[in-house]
Amino acid sequence: MKTITREWLNAANDDLIAMEVMRGREEITNMVAFHAQQAIEKSFKAVVEEFNLGNLKTHHLESLYSKIVPVISGFNENILAELDTVYIEARYPGDLGLMPHGKPSIEEADIYHQEALKIKERIEVFLINK
């Protein structure tokens, strides 16, 4: 595994740790969603780097996912689309981590956390065993 690939995975892990600390707190479910988006983005960028799949200058999960599909796929595209709204739509501090309908519920935040964890772990195992 390339050094830069490991750095992307380590950065994704930092977001996962942040989510663990924030889980279950209704007032910051938006930040859990934001860190889920970030963890997935960084996990996808690890694959892009490892396999030289192109430009990394996007935060759009669906675009990054389309780059890695030839190498690894099977991730929940509905969750990716939902989490794209967290980063792509956020333009002001008050919007950061908000979904189009406002703050996610605790249940939604837990789903985003679990999906980010599952994606990062699956990608890491894949890259280690490639």
pLDDT 10s digit of each residue in the chain, 130 long?
999 999 999 999 999 999 999 999 999 998 999 999 999 999 999 999 999 999 888 899 999 999 999 999 999 999 999 998 876 555 555 555 566 677 899 999 999 999 999 999 999 999 999 8
pTM, 2 dp = 0.92
C-alpha 117, offset from chain centre: 9
What does the alpha-carbon distance between residue 130 and residue 121 come to, in Å, rounded to a whole number?
A: 14
What does the alpha-carbon distance between residue 29 and residue 106 come to, in Å, rounded to a whole number?
A: 6
Please give the CATH topology (third level) of the domain spanning 3-129: Four Helix Bundle (Hemerythrin (Met), subunit A) (1.20.120)
State which H helix or E strand residue 36 sits in.
helix 29-50
C-alpha 127, offset from chain centre: 17
